[in-house]
């Protein structure tokens, strides 16, 4: 991939890497089939989930990924779906010596991957740290990235790729209108 942004901070990295298991602009999706999903899960330290994933599990991971991506992009329907997923996959928040945690409520190792992402998202939302995790505005891209700009106003995953394409389209549109 040719994305050049540095990764998100540790508390958001799970969300970012899970959402970026698909690079639509480059025609790559780690959850395109069971074999590629197994490889992705293994690479991300989820060997038990990798050995147990089936076609239904792949579909569930895609559903959760696209729901989280939609939520990050501000889609109200995705927020509603997050509530359903959270009720199914997460337990009641708990406080311990390290702070608050949102426990996983499913014994299924594949669904536990999705639950861990949702728990990280819930924690990031409550702490206010999620605001810099964004989705590229290019509909053909939708890469998730961490916005490190001082004003928190980045729009594109990369000005060299999506930003440049947008600027060129806008230029051509203005030129053709004249």
Exposed / middle / buried, residue 140 (Cβ in 10 Å: 0-12, 13-18, 19+) = exposed
pLDDT: which is higher, 103 or 161: 103
In tens, the pLDDT along 1-53 reads 456 789 999 999 999 999 999 999 889 999 999 999 999 999 999 999 999 99
In tens, the pLDDT along 147-178 reads 999 999 888 887 676 866 656 666 566 667 76
In tens, the pLDDT along 113-144 reads 999 999 999 999 988 899 999 999 988 899 99
What is the CATH number that goes with domain 10-177? 1.10.3300.10
Asked if 82 and 64 touch (Cβ cutoff 8 Å), the reply is no
Give pLDDT, residue 169: 65
Strands 99-101, 94-96: pairing kind: antiparallel
Give pLDDT, residue 1: 47
Give pLDDT, residue 158: 72
- 63: pLDDT strictly greater than 90: yes
Q: Where are the domains of the chain?
A: 10-177
Residues ≥6 apart with Cβ < 8 Å to 18: 64, 65, 68, 113, 117
pTM: 0.88
């Amino acid at each position: 991939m040719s994305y050049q942004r540095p990764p998100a901070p540790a508390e958001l990295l799970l969300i970012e890497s899970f959402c970026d298991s698909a690079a639509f602009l480059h025609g790559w999706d780690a959850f395109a089939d069971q074999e590629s999903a197994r490889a992705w899960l293994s690479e991300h330290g989820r060997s038990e989930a990798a050995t147990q994933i089936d076609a239904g599990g792949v579909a569930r991971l895609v559903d959760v990924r696209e729901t989280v991506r939609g939520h990050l992009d501000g889609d109200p329907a995705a927020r509603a779906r997050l509530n359903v997923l959270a009720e199914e996959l997460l337990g009641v928040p708990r406080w311990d010596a390290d702070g608050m945690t949102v426990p996983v409520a499913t014994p299924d190792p594949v669904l536990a991957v999705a639950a861990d992402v949702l728990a990280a998202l819930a924690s990031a939302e409550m702490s206010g740290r999620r605001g810099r995790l964004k989705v590229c505005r290019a509909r053909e891209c939708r890469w998730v990235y961490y916005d490190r700009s001082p004003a928190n106003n980045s729009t594109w995953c990369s000005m060299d790729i999506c930003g440049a394409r947008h600027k060129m389209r806008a230029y051509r549109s203005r030129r053709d209108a004249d």
